[in-house]
Structure 1
């Protein structure tokens, strides 16, 4: 049986990783303008 709390923590962690990677990409993208 899958622990729902565990799944929620994993999902939120994955979302945080995605947000961090997206923000890092946008920062790199802004740097390209200069």
Structure 2
């Protein structure tokens, strides 16, 4: 659960473009 919280915190502190890339790339890498 902590990992998810850290990821969410990081996403909220990133730029919108970085957020989109994070959401698109993570499932492809199998992290979710």
**TM-score over 0.5 (shorter chain):** no
More helix by share: 1
What is the TM-score with the length of structure 1 in the denominator?
0.41
Structure showing greater Rg: 1
* More RCO (CA 8 Å, sep 6+): 2
